[in-house]
Amino acid sequence: MQNIAIKVENLSKAYQLGEIGTGTISKDLARWYARIQGKEDPFLRIGETHERANKRNLDVVWSLKDISFEIEKGDTVGIIGRNGAGKSTLLKVLSRVTSPTTGRITGKGRIASLLEVGTGFHPELTGRENIYLNGSILGMRKKEIARKFDEIVDFAGVERYIDTPVKRYSSGMYVRLAFAVAAHLESEILFVDEVLAVGDAEFQRKCLGKMNEVSKSEGKTILFVSHSMDSIHSLCRKSILLKHGQMHCFDASEKVIPLYLSDNEVMPKKSGTGEINVSSLTLRDKNGNNLDFLNAYQEVYLSLNVHCKVPVKDVSFALCFNNIHKLRVCSLWTNFTDKTYNLEPGDYTLIYKIPTLNLIPGSYELVTYIESKSRVIERIDDFKEITVGLNQDSPKRITEPISTTGVYWQNFTAELHRNNA
């Protein structure tokens, strides 16, 4: 079809685990010569056996397996899935950064990609020189780049540093300039990985607006990888859900996002005495409406359903937010406010009210704790994965402290109610 920008047929990508070669050409040749003679590998480690039939399968990991889809020109498609699902690998294969093991890719148009911070940049060159270098790599002529140059620099907000080598840029400056180049140069297809998470909230909103603009006004095809379901929902008409390297679903975003959010295939890790259990968590806004994801810098309510088996005194609860790197960024302990509870057997609801959720957009894992006098009653790691995004009501300028790597104070109140029998 003439309207197809990207066509993928039976795409698979395998990676070999362990050492590929011996480290020298002479040893590689000796290994090859032994193999064609049917002899044992002379460079096997002590105690290691040469099992061709089994070992080959064990040493290969399929990051992508039998993926097929078609994307129309001018369409904006989100790619979502858990960490390790194959999202970044798919973009790298489509961008020709790495070749597929099997399958076929057909594309129409020049491709611009933003896969990692500073992709395609030379650290010793200035920002000005890297704009021309990146544009040349994308197939642009010097006149085309010069025509867009001022617009790129203005969007990135790096006028003062444009003649400074980019090795001295911060990661945020790197991303702003790299995105500005990829979005403004005259390519027909744009691939964007999760790198926008490095930027601040205002720049993320600016990037999403630019991608929406170039998709609608210029007919640019966009593939966007993100853990922010709010961004995917607002930008992408369709989404691809990947699971373990396979395409689980390719449909309208409003149908695919709930499938991703309701995926509970990762079993929580529990520990503790088990006298009290947390069974579920509900996210609500200030009007009591259930939420699939949270909006940053907005008032939210988190409700935990709790079951107490035996009488327990001096109980404290906690909800902790870990980022995608497993680093704790926020802890909500009820004993922060010197509040503990005496529980009798029965069912309870613990409601956290957070006036302003000071978390930057992204994906977070919730960890729950229940303690009594420093005795762990229940701890659940990976209790629930939630997504924090931005909406049109989010402030343009952030005045509250935010964090992505350190534990910080989050203003909240907690109320425990016993459910009716």
Say whether both 296 and 256 belong to one domain. no
Question: What whole-number distance in Å separates Cα of residue 78 and Cα of residue 80?
Answer: 6
Of 228, 261, 294, at which residue does a domain stop?
261
Indicate which CATH number applies to the domain containing 83: 3.40.50.300
pLDDT in tens, 370-402: 998 878 999 988 788 888 876 655 554 443 444
Is it the case that residue 270 has pLDDT exceeding 50?
A: yes
Q: Is residue 21 part of a domain?
A: no
Is it the case that residue 274 has pLDDT exceeding 50?
A: yes
Which H/E stretch holds residue 371?
Answer: strand 362-372
Of 261, 287, 309, at which residue does a domain stop?
261
Nearest by Cα to 276 from 316, 248, 244 = 316
Is it the case that residue 135 has pLDDT exceeding 60?
A: yes
Of 239, 261, 283, at which residue does a domain stop?
261
Indicate which CATH number applies to the domain containing 316: 2.70.50.60
Average pLDDT over residues 354-358: 85
Average pLDDT over residues 182-208: 75
Average pLDDT over residues 232-239: 86
What confidence score (pLDDT) does residue 56 get?
45
Residues in the chain: 421
| Measured distance between the N- and C-terminal CA atoms of the chain, rounded to whole angstroms | 62
Q: How large is the C-alpha radius of gyration of the chain? A: 26
Say whether both 327 and 186 belong to one domain. no
Say whether both 251 and 279 belong to one domain. no
Question: What whole-number distance in Å separates Cα of residue 84 and Cα of residue 330?
Answer: 24
Structural domain including 290 reads: 269-418
- What is the pLDDT of the chain when averaged over all its residues? 80
Say whether both 276 and 249 belong to one domain. no
What confidence score (pLDDT) does residue 57 get?
46
Average pLDDT over residues 157-161: 89
Q: Is residue 257 part of a domain?
A: yes
* Greater model confidence, 54 or 334: 334
- Number of domains comprising the chain: 2
Structure letter (DSSP) for residue 126: B
Would you tell me the crossing angle of helices 127-137 and 171-184 to the nearest 10 degrees? 40
pLDDT in tens, 17-64: 655 666 677 777 887 778 788 777 766 655 444 444 444 444 678 889
Question: Vertex 244, ends 242 and 247: CA angle to 5°?
Answer: 35
DSSP notation for 79-105:
EE-STTSSHHHHHHHHTTSS--SEEEE
Q: Is residue 41 part of a domain?
A: no
Q: What share of the chain is helix, strand, coil (3-state, %, to 5)?
A: 25, 35, 35
203-206, long-range: CB < 8 A, 24+ apart? 203/172, 203/175, 203/176, 204/231, 204/361, 204/390, 205/390, 205/394, 205/396, 206/155
Counting residues of the chain whose pLDDT is more than 90, the rounded percentage is 23
Nearest by Cα to 158 from 143, 178, 142, 138 = 178
Say whether both 252 and 364 belong to one domain. no
What confidence score (pLDDT) does residue 22 get?
60
Question: What whole-number distance in Å separates Cα of residue 400 and Cα of residue 409?
Answer: 11
Which of 137-141, 215-219, 248-252, 378-382 is predicted least confidently? 137-141
* Greater model confidence, 230 or 68: 68
Say whether both 126 and 148 belong to one domain. yes
Nearest by Cα to 361 from 201, 173, 233, 207 = 201
Question: What whole-number distance in Å separates Cα of residue 370 and Cα of residue 377?
Answer: 5
Q: Is residue 245 part of a domain?
A: yes
What confidence score (pLDDT) does residue 401 get?
40
Q: Which residue is listed with tokens 């909103």?
A: 205
pLDDT in tens, 311-327: 999 999 988 888 877 77
Q: Is residue 52 part of a domain?
A: no
Say whether both 311 and 166 belong to one domain. no
DSSP notation for 159-170:
GGGTTSBGGGS-
